[in-house]
Amino acid sequence: MTEAITDYFVALFQGSIPKELIVFIISMFPILELRGGMIAAKLLGVQLWKAFIICYIGNILPIPFILLFIRRIFKFLKKFRATEKLVNKIELRSMRKSEKVRHGRNLGLLAFVATPLPGTGGWTGALIASLLDIRIKTSFPIIALGVFIANLIMSVFSYGLLGLLGVG
């Protein structure tokens, strides 16, 4: 799914904005995050070191805002019938995923964010941290490290570094 959505955005923006900006925008999107950004960077021929930095910044940029404001935004959106159901669904889904984080708390949050799979990552990690009342001065560094680790993993897979490491 991540690859299909990434391909769509690459096709949509390619030729109209710089390829680095495409990678940055994709990395900021929930669901796609840096997983999609690294795939897009490879498709667009962005150098690995540049892609790594762009994807990291793009993925980490929304995190403080999520940590600071998501509960207030959700509270506001629950006042409207049209958005209440969606917010409840997002909260319920996040709380189910939070079971993986609850037991290990900080280490669990790090592992959750660092695992580059659909449904994990900085956005969901920030949402879970917020819903579990993990303070921002604790959660942000953990999420930032998790995003960095996920970026390392995605760099290896997206840029075919396994061959350079003697694997595969």
pLDDT digits (tens, 9 = 90+) for 13-42: 888 999 999 999 999 998 899 999 999 999
Query: Quick one: pLDDT band at residue 5, thresholds 50, 70, 90?
Result: confident
Pair 52, 67 in one domain: no
Q: Are 143 and 129 in contact (CB under 8 A)?
A: yes
* CA distance linking residue 51 with residue 156, whole number of Å: 12
DSSP letter at 129 equals H
* 163, part of any domain: no
Pair 55, 99 in one domain: no
The residues near 111 (Cβ < 8 Å, ≥ 6 apart) are 100, 104, 146
Q: Which of 44, 60, 76 is the last residue of a domain?
A: 60
Region 122-137: mean pLDDT is 92
* 162, part of any domain: no
* CA distance linking residue 129 with residue 48, whole number of Å: 30
Structure tokens at 150: 């996920």
pLDDT tens digit sequence for 72-106: 999 999 999 999 999 999 888 888 777 767 777 78
Residues linked to residue 14 through DSSP beta bridges, in sequence order: 17
* 158, part of any domain: no
Region 106-119: mean pLDDT is 90
**pLDDT value for 163:** 47
**pLDDT value for 165:** 54
pLDDT at 168 over 50: no
- pLDDT winner (highest mean) among 3-7, 108-112, 114-118, 144-148: 144-148
Pair 7, 72 in one domain: no
Pair 69, 143 in one domain: yes
Pair 119, 42 in one domain: no
**pLDDT value for 14:** 86
* 161, part of any domain: no
In terms of residue numbers, what domain contains 122?
A: 63-152
* CA distance linking residue 100 with residue 132, whole number of Å: 12
**pLDDT value for 131:** 87
pLDDT tens digit sequence for 47-73: 999 999 999 999 999 999 999 999 999
* CA distance linking residue 7 with residue 140, whole number of Å: 30
Q: Are 141 and 102 in contact (CB under 8 A)?
A: no
SS3 61: coil
* CA distance linking residue 119 with residue 130, whole number of Å: 16
The one-letter amino acid code at 96 reads R
**How many independent structural domains does the chain possess?**
2
Pair 50, 99 in one domain: no
* CA distance linking residue 95 with residue 124, whole number of Å: 10
Pair 100, 146 in one domain: yes
* 117, part of any domain: yes
- What H or E segment, with its residue span, contains residue 44? helix 33-44
